[in-house]
């Protein structure tokens, strides 16, 4: 185990997102990919071409380990004690990077530059997306037990999605 590269004190949200998802539950790379698009979609995104190499690196450094191999040559990874400690260290001791990137927000910011008749189809598209987003989160909220420590997370996501949806409705009303 453990190669060279130093995980000193830098950002690396991908690494800690993966580690965090594994701390919740052991998973294959393929399953993690889906979690990034579900429970973590508002916070971070990762594609399979990032996830698989990252899992290999985590295993190499002893922060995760392969705990089983299933059909279709799938490998299930679990977090190790060293991985849990690294997660704690990152959450507690590494200064958070506060920058954020969200293309949808950039678009919403810039749409008012266009004349109203060009705005309307854009707000309609955004409303459709926002409504679908709320529905998806509502479905997700239904399966997360009230007792789960992550329940409040889902609730916040849902409230924010609803706020955005209502705001877009107002924008659409304004240009109609």
Partner DNA sequence: GCCATCATGTAATTAGTTACATGATTAG
Partner DNA sequence: CTAATCATGTAACTAATTACATGATGGC
Q: What angle do CA 94, 17, 27 make, to 5 degrees?
A: 140
Contact region with DNA (CB under 7 A), list: 67-75, 110-118, 149-157, 164-172: 67-75
Q: Which stretch binds DNA (CB under 7 A): 68-76, 136-144, 154-162, 166-174?
A: 68-76
Contact between residue 43 and residue 21 where contact means Cβ atoms under 8 Å apart? no
Nearer to DNA, 64 or 164 (CB): 64
Residues from 78 through 117 that contact DNA (CB under 7 A): 97, 99, 101
Structure tokens at 100: 């954020």
Read off the tokens for 96: 């958070």
Q: Go through 61-96 and write b for each residue having 16 or more CB atoms within 10 A of its CB, e for each that does not.
A: bebbbeeeeeeeeebbbebbebbeebbeebeeeeee
Q: Among 41, 50, 136, 153, which residue sits at the site for DNA (rule: CB under 7 A)?
A: 50
Residue 103 or 170 with smaller CB distance to DNA: 103
Binding site residues, its own copies, CB under 8 A = 11, 13, 16-17, 20, 23-24, 39-45, 87-88, 91-92, 96-114, 118, 121-122, 125, 129, 149-150, 152-153, 156, 159-160, 163-164, 167, 170-171
């Amino acid at each position: 185990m453990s190669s060279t590269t130093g995980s000193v004190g830098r950002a690396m949200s991908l690494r800690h997102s993966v580690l965090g998802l594994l701390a919740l539950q052991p998973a294959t790379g393929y399953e993690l990919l889906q979690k990034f698009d579900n429970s973590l979609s508002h916070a971070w995104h990762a594609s399979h071409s990032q996830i698989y190499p990252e899992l290999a690196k985590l295993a190499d450094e002893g922060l995760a380990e392969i705990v089983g191999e299933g059909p279709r040559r799938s490998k299930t990874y679990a977090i190790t004690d060293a991985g849990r400690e690294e997660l704690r260290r990152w959450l507690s001791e590494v200064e958070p990077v506060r920058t954020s990137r969200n293309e949808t927000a950039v678009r919403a910011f810039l749409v008012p530059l266009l004349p109203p008749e060009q705005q309307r189809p854009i707000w309609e598209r955004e409303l459709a997306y926002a409504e679908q987003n709320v529905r998806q989160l509502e479905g997700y909220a239904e399966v997360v037990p009230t007792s789960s420590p992550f329940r409040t997370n889902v609730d916040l996501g849902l409230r924010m999605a609803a706020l955005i949806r209502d705001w877009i409705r107002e924008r659409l009303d304004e240009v109609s």
